[in-house]
A and B are shown apart, each in its own frame.
Chain A
Amino acid sequence: MSKSNKYGYVGVDVPEQSFGNNKGIFNPAEINELVADNKWTSFGQLELIETQTVSSATSLIFNNIKEDVYNVHFLTINDMQFSISGENLAMRLSTDNGSTFITSGYQYGQQYGQSSSGFGELKYTSRAYWDNFSSNITGTNSKAGMYIYLYNLGDSTKYSFYTSQSTATVQTSIEYQMRFGSGVLATASVHNAFQLDGDGHTSKLSSGTYSLYGIRYS
């Protein structure tokens, strides 16, 4: 508390402001200031946490994901491609800020469909990663776009979940491919980083823009 003329208060102790606990009468400048300080209550707000761009073969680690602030994360991937054929996009979570990554216990189901070669299901109850978000994306005219929602990463009492949807053209044939699905890592723990790579985890992403957002709903 401090005495100042702010938020409609004059000559009295001004309440501290925080998300979910705004008190007073606010002018536009004060609202802008609180938004910038992440203290303005706006449910469903989208915050860009980090964008990483890939232009040569690598893997990506997001290790400043603000899991203590956001209980839903939204990852967009545009113009993704692998440096070699046959790779699936894979994600692994970490509990130590990306020093190591969890290598077991991932479950997921994915529905896929291609414009000429059929539809199918992929399902695993014990996998070393979440993968198959999109696969076989390499070479001329083979690219993928997708989005992934991640849930409960920062909640030590809840499992971490995802839902995803992707759109792509597969290598060589340039046949259209769509996928959507969901998964869980059934370990109640704080997950504070994740890695993206091919399922071989040998730095096979070769292009794309990867943007991580936080969505605050509570």
Chain B
Amino acid sequence: MAGQLIQVATETVTSAVASVTLTGIDSDDVYMVTVANVIPTTDDKNLQVRVTVSGTAQTSSNYDEASKNLRTDTTFSNSALTNLDRWQPQSASGSATGESGNLILYLFNFNNASEYSFVTVESNYINASGNLFGHQGGGVYTVAEAHNGINFSLESSDTFESGTFTLYKVV
């Protein structure tokens, strides 16, 4: 029956790991990624997201993004960044009790070798100051090449304490 979310890859962190890579993008369909209960081992770390080529995270400075930060502690803010070496859907993520993050990404044109790869991002998390953040926007990786997956890591080579990462194909 057409019309399903087909699970392509999933990984649940049960002991500290430096990165999580989900691969298996091999068609021009839209893909969706869910990330639940992600927590850095060390407090106050940025979540980093990268595309992969043959399973290897791409670290060239070709990531652009724009997002609205929906904060509970102060006025909403904007985030507009170009030529980064990663997308950054969560900043200064917290690791204290009760602090964690979640996000949903939709992936467009990842399998298309002649077009850039795009993501939409919906994220919420509690940062290292204990404030709730919503983060709504997206990004582009401005290299026309095929990407077979997506990679998650933390700044300063920190590790994930927890998190469930799942890649789905929308068919």
Are A and B co-members of a single complex?
Answer: yes
Cβ B65 vs Cβ A79 within 8 A: no
A114 pairs with B142, CB closer than 8 A = no
Interface residue ranges, A against B (CB under 8 Å): 35-36, 45-49, 76, 78-79, 111, 113-116, 118-119, 141, 143-147, 165-169, 174-178, 180, 209, 211, 213-214
Contact assessment for A209 and B28 in the assembled complex, using a CB-CB cutoff below 8 Å: yes
Let me know if A111 and B139 touch, CB within 8 A. no
Which of B3, B67, B115, B142 is close to A46, meaning CB atoms less than 8 Å apart?
Answer: B3
Q: Which residue of A lies closest to B144 (CB)?
A: A141
Known pairs A141-B116, A168-B140, A169-B140 / 19 extra A-B pairs, C-beta < 8 Å = A46-B3, A47-B3, A76-B170, A78-B30, A79-B28, A79-B115, A111-B136, A113-B78, A113-B80, A114-B66, A115-B66, A116-B82, A119-B78, A143-B109, A143-B115, A169-B142, A176-B140, A178-B120, A178-B139
B4 & A46 in contact (Cβ 8 Å cutoff): yes
Q: Would you give the shortest CB distance from A175 to chain B, in whole angstroms?
A: 8
Contact: B120 with A145, CB < 8 Å?
Answer: yes
Question: Shortest beta-carbon distance, B96 to chain A, in Å?
Answer: 30
**Chain B's interface: helix, strand, loop or mixed, by majority?**
strand
Complex contacts, A36 vs chain B, CB 8 Å? 1
Contacts of B80 in A (CB 8 A): 113-116, 118-119
A33 to chain B, nearest CB (A): 11
Cβ contact within 8 Å between A111 and B118: no
Most B-side CB within 10 Å, residue of A78, A111, A113: A78
